[in-house]
Structure formats: C-alpha cells, structure tokens
Amino acid sequence: MFDFVTKGRKKQSKLQKKIDKISCAACGDIKKISEFYMSYNPIHETGRIPYCKLCLKKMIADEKGNVKLEKLKETLRLIDRPFLYDIWKISLEKSKNGFGSYMKNLAMPQYRNLGWIDSKMLPDIDNELNYDEVNEENGFELTDDVISFFGKINGYTEDDYEYLTNRYSEYINSYQSDSPAMEELLKQAAFESLEIQRKRSKGADASKNLKNLQEILGSANIKPNQETGANAVDQISFGLLIKKWENEEPIPEPDEEWKDVDGIGKYIRIWFLGHLCKMLGITNEYSKEYEDEMDRLRVELPFDNTSIDELNGDDNEEIFMASR
C-alpha cells in the first residue's frame, strides 16, 4: 500500500508540471487546472479533484442554491474527502457557502491525506446545522503530517506549530493558492509571523523579520497596498468586474419563455442583420428569417393578370371587394 501511494504521488507531481487544463467529469468542459480543487489522493493522477469547482458547488446545493448537509456528505463521499464537522463549522463562519473555505482547510497538512473513511460527525446533526451543541475546542493535534509539512525545528513547541497551522490556514483561506510556489510563499509568511511573535514576547528586535514578511507578501502580491490597488482596478473598470462575475458565477441560460420577451432580439436579427445579409447577397439564417418576415408582410395584387396601370382606373371599393 505504501509503495502504491508513493508511486501515485510521484506520478501526480510529474503530471502537474505538464498539464494546465483538464476535463470536468460532471459537465465535460475542458477548463484551466485552477478551476479544480487540489487533491493529494494518488488515485487522482492530475493532483486535482476531477469535478470542477462550479459543478461541485451545484452538487452540494438545492435548486435555490442553499447548501444541504446530506448533499454535501454525498459529494464528499464521491470525491473521497472527509466530513469533519468542526472544520465545516469554522468554514461556514468564514463564508456563506462555506464549501470553498472547507476545501482549502482540507488542504492543510493534517487533513490532506484523510479520506471519507476518516470523517468525524456529530450523532444528531440535521440540515439546519444546530451549532449550539458543538464543542468549541479547536482540537489541534501535532501530527506527523504537520511536522512533515512545516519541518522538524529545534525549539518549536506544540503551541508554535499550532500558531503556524492557524496562520497558514488564514492565508490559504484568504488568498487564491493554485500553485506550489504560492503555497510555499504563504508557508514562509506564516514562519516569519511566528518569529515576530516569538521575538516580541522576549522583547527582542523583530524589524528584520518584519522586513522579510513584507518581501514575502510582496512576492505573493498580497501586500495591503497591492490588494488596495487590485480592488481599485475592479471598481474603476466595470469590464473587469463583469469578467470576475462571469468566471466565478456565470449567468445561467434563461428559460425559453423569458428569452427575448420584448422582441428586440428578433427585431435586430430581421431588420438589421437579415436586411444587411440580403443587401450583400449573403444566404444564411438571418437572410432567410428576413425573407420569411417580408413574405408575411408583403401585399399581393388582387388579380394575377392585373397590372398597376389597370388598377389605377378601377374603383377602390371594387378592388377591395375583389381582393376578398
């Protein structure tokens, strides 16, 4: 089993360097690898869960978009990730949906190798998620995975590792991290933050560590002034805001009865696109729709062999009656 896991992870590492797009097992669309959550399960050779973030979000919610606990459990069972109630509770406190934050928490070293079989659930949980009965203890445990992730460092206590874990979790939940390089920067930022705390508790100078932390945050492009600039761009450029909406929460296709309710789409197709295609001699669906509409509106002469000159002398009432 150990050989299988080791070989699987080596294969994962090689594939992650080669691919930048994969196909979603649910919708079938080929998307950027950043649109999929990370996976440390050797079965997932790409290093990503085979369902895109958008499909997973739909899988755990009802028709109104509300997250349902049973659907969440079914989805986690499908992708072989654990349901850890305490972590789910913390994730819900960070965001309304909670799923994105929960998946990032599962990427922490002490949880990344857990599967559905490692789930920890309270016995009496309903879909409304009654948090009053939840134990408020953080339940931190210094495991081999935590030490392996941060390294075995002389002088570091369990409290230090807990601080590192919590700090790294805050970073990973606050900023997008889709590459090993970004994860390493956030981990180093957690280290520098810990060193600042340790030195200040001893009354020592922490200015060097503060400078290092600023450089690390700058490299990760998450310094406060960089964040402010990015937010300002979103506010100034409405196009970027629309792009963000389309990437994160695309507008679904409307029902047929709500498509073009005022007829403006048909109007433009017929009298602009269709007429233009007709003028240029282009035969396509627009010119055909234009011809069909013209046939419907075209006025025919009342008699097949009657010319306009002959009709000029006729009585209007007779023509009207004849046309009927």
**One-character DSSP codes across 42-75:** TTSTTSEEEEEHHHHHHHTB-TTS-B-HHHHHHH
Structure tokens at 35: 């649109």
The answer to which of 76-80, 220-224, 265-269 has the lowest mean pLDDT is 220-224
What is the structure's pLDDT at 176?
67
The answer to which of 10-24, 66-80, 174-188, 272-286 has the lowest mean pLDDT is 10-24
1-59: CATH architecture: 2-Layer Sandwich (3.30)
Taking residue 195's Cβ as centre, other Cβ atoms within 10 Å add up to 18
Is the pLDDT confidence value at 125 over 50?
no
Is the pLDDT confidence value at 184 over 70?
yes
Q: How far apart are CA 293 and CA 296, in angstroms?
A: 5
Structure tokens at 309: 């000159």
Q: Quote the percentage of the chain above a pLDDT of 70.
A: 71
pLDDT tens readout for residues 230-277:
544 444 456 766 777 777 766 677 777 777 778 888 899 999 999 999
Mean pLDDT of the chain: 75
Specify which of 30-39, 93-102, 225-234, 312-321 reaches the highest per-range mean pLDDT. Answer: 30-39
Q: Output the furthest CA–CA distance in the chain (Å, rounded).
A: 113
Local confidence band at 80 (pLDDT 50, 70, 90 cut-offs): confident
What is the structure's pLDDT at 227?
53
What is the structure's pLDDT at 65?
76
Instruction: Delimit the domains of the chain by residue range.
Output: 1-59, 266-323
How would you class 135 by CB atoms within 10 Å of its CB: exposed for 0-12, middle for 13-18, buried for 19 or more? exposed
The answer to which of 79-93, 126-140, 148-162 has the lowest mean pLDDT is 126-140
What is the structure's pLDDT at 155?
83
What is the structure's pLDDT at 21?
83
How would you class 181 by CB atoms within 10 Å of its CB: exposed for 0-12, middle for 13-18, buried for 19 or more? exposed
Is the pLDDT confidence value at 206 over 70?
yes
What is the structure's pLDDT at 136?
41
Which of the two residues, 279 and 313, has the higher pLDDT score? 279
Which of the two residues, 221 and 156, has the higher pLDDT score? 156
Phi, psi of 79 (to 5 degrees): -95, 10
What is the structure's pLDDT at 316?
54
The pTM (predicted TM-score) of the whole model is 0.43
Length of the chain: 324
What is the structure's pLDDT at 237?
59
8 Å CB contact between 24 and 41: no
Local confidence band at 303 (pLDDT 50, 70, 90 cut-offs): low
Is the pLDDT confidence value at 144 over 60?
yes
What is the structure's pLDDT at 135?
37
Local confidence band at 173 (pLDDT 50, 70, 90 cut-offs): low
What is the structure's pLDDT at 236?
47
Is the pLDDT confidence value at 193 over 60?
yes
Local confidence band at 123 (pLDDT 50, 70, 90 cut-offs): very low
What is the structure's pLDDT at 290?
92
What is the structure's pLDDT at 273?
92
Q: How far apart are CA 66 and CA 72, in angstroms?
A: 11
